[in-house]
Chain A
Amino acid sequence: MALPKRIIKETERLMAEPVPGISAVPHDDNLRYFDVTIDGPTQSPYEGGTFKLELFLPDDYPMTPPKVRFLTKIYHPNIDRLGRICLDVLKGNWSPALQIRTILLSIQALLGAPNPDDPLANDVAQQWKEDQNTAIATAKEWTEKYAKA
């Protein structure tokens, strides 16, 4: 199946005008599959870390959102052990006018602003609510351990 114009344009733009702190490179043999890295935002427990993700554009993209998952282990209330992300724009609030670029920016923003009230990883969210300092320390520890190659 020929790659839709939309995906070609998006990929071109991602290459030509990359977003600072984010990279997304399609596989040569599957142009719908992207290797993604996101730098942890400054002033966050993830600062200094580089997080690997995978992103896949399903057949009915952009009518359905891309599938995105963290590959690097991360301690975050909205990201579970399997790297799945709880983010509105990846679910009910997806709009076909959104793009890979905007989604990755939203994920980066989520790292800067965890939301323990809407948790995916319940144990992490609980820790985050009960003792934020310890939670942040753990997040920093994990960043040090897993996100710095």
Chain B
Amino acid sequence: MESEDDFNSARSTDDEMMDDVESGYSDDDFDDLEIGEEEGFDAHDKITATQKQSYEVEFKVWTPKDIDEAQLRLINEVKDVLGQSPEATAILLRYSRWNREKLIEQYMDNQAAVLEGAGLGESNSTEARVQTLTGFTCDICCDDTSPMTTFAIKCGHRFCIDCYKTYVNAKVTDEAEAARIKCPADQCNRIVDNKSMELLVPDNLTDRYHELLVRTYVDDLENLKWCPAPNCEFAIQCKVKAKELKKVVPTVHCDCGHDFCFGCAYNDHLPAPCDLVKKWVKKCEDDSETANWISANTKECPKCASTIEKNGGCNHMTCRKCKHEFCWMCMGVWSEHGTSWYNCNRFEEKSGTEARDAQAKSRQSLERYLHYYNRYANHEQSAKLDKDIYVKTEKKMTQLQNHAQLSWIEVQFLDSASKALQRCRQTLKWTYAFAFYLERNNLTEIFEDNQKDLEMAVENLSELFEKPTDQLEKMKVEMMDKTAYCNKRRIILLNDTADNLRKSRHAFWSNDLGA
């Protein structure tokens, strides 16, 4: 309990007042927010309205300007209701975590208590902020030069203006505080208002100050989150709440190009719900000794035992030496995979007699984990390799444009294919974490079939990527078909899992033994 926050009395008063806010906004609150946006946000409306799939969630991308405007609009609306200045209204709104309805209600109920809590209590003083005084000693620096320029906010706790400036600057610079800086006097909870801050913050810090003010708006709202991509300034609005995360995986797409989960800010992890992702990632980190066990990039040909390096994302391996074709994942004969019973994605549970032996059981549980981990890691690795190939593909695209005299538009099929591969591998990767925790029931087979179909579609497309450039033009139609098929399989899988999650039809192991 060494946290600084624990001692912040102002914070705990906030918490008392805003108890229900902590537990999540009601739908009404969200609707209010939306109403407030209507005037200015139509242009940025990113709601994926066209044929929304059941795995997709509604969201909006906000620019820094949008955020600024939304704050100003809310301040303007509320200031008239409360009959307060814009500065005081901003403080009150930040105090109430931007919950307009609650603020107005509590303000009407007990104005004095709300003002006191927000640091705007009955002023002891109506003196001007800046005053030049004689015979004044500053309690912070002990300077008693006469006359002296002093500063105070409404509470009347007066200090020399230099100390006041140093104080707020330190808060802005070192503690990233802006909206809730208190008067420097001991035990005084009055918050330094906007107007005073504008006077005190030096020019070189005003940008930082405003940035921090804007941040509180996003930080305070449960349905707004910053895009976690480095240097991205956008925020995403999404109404999925923390308590819903077992039933929905809210993947959002920022305008900067980053796909992430609104629930946990982790990279896109569809179809696995956040809590499974967290457990899985932790397990993979903890199991370092088993991770050693996993060969990353080389394997031996099951027939001639010569070393084979995987240099593309495709799992269809052909030994250079003996021409044996096999599957990289299960090391099985590839020809079997091309038929309807591609069952490389399923871990066949061993017979019950063996399971009775405790040692065998633990070995089996390790094997089971490795089965899923290998497939998970494989797709992660393959996505990277596919990406490397894509860099080469870009070159191929240029070559195609030059030699075959194709237009830029005409070679875009390679780009679409590459993006589809990335996205599908990302999904496949998480299907294995999902499957690891999945308790078998009558829906499991459908899931595994979907997984297998996507797996096959991806391998088929990936294979085309490894062909030499001069063959690419001929394969254009085939590649486009396979790309479309991959995307379709992915949507089918995601819709199926999303529907089942929403209806709680999937059961997950609470431990990670899978038995």
Contacts and interface: CB of A to CB of B under 8 A. Distances in A.
Contacts of B186: 89, 95, 97-98, 102
Contact of B185 (A86, A91, A97): A97
A144 B7 CA distance: 31
A12 B8 CA distance: 31
B322 interface: no
A118 B188 CA distance: 22
Contacts of B309: none
A97 B139 contact: yes
Interface stretch (A28-36, A46-54, A57-65, A133-141): A57-65
A81 interface: no
Contacts of A95: 184-188
A87 B188 CA distance: 18
Given A95-B186, A97-B139, A86 B8 contact: no
B144 to A, nearest CB: 9
B1, B9, B11: residue with the most chain A Cβ atoms closer than 10 Å: B1
Contact-residue bracket for chain B: 20 to 34
A27 interface: no
Interface string B146-169: 000000000001010001001100
A96 B7 contact: no
B170 A64 contact: yes
A60 B170 CA distance: 9
Contact of A120 (B2, B143, B159, B187): B2
Contact of B4 (A4, A91, A97, A120): A91
Contact of A63 (B7, B9, B142, B167): B167
A101 to B, nearest CB: 12
Contacts of A87: 7
Contacts of B140: 6, 62, 96-97
A87 B142 CA distance: 25
A79 B7 CA distance: 15
B7 A92 contact: yes
A31 B59 CA distance: 59
Interface string A61-97: 0111000000000000000000000111101110111
Given A4-B141, A62-B140, A96 B6 contact: no
Contacts of A102: 186
Contact of B142 (A5, A92, A98, A119): A5
B5 interface: yes
A88 B163 contact: no
Given A5-B141, A60-B170, A96 B163 contact: yes
A55 B321 CA distance: 75
B8, B142, B159, B166: residue with the most chain A Cβ atoms closer than 10 Å: B142
Interface of A: 4-6, 8-10, 60, 62-64, 86-89, 91-93, 95-98, 102, 118-120
Given A92-B4, A93-B7, 13 more contacts: A4-B141, A62-B140, A63-B170, A86-B2, A88-B9, A91-B4, A91-B7, A93-B9, A95-B184, A97-B185, A97-B186, A98-B186, A118-B1
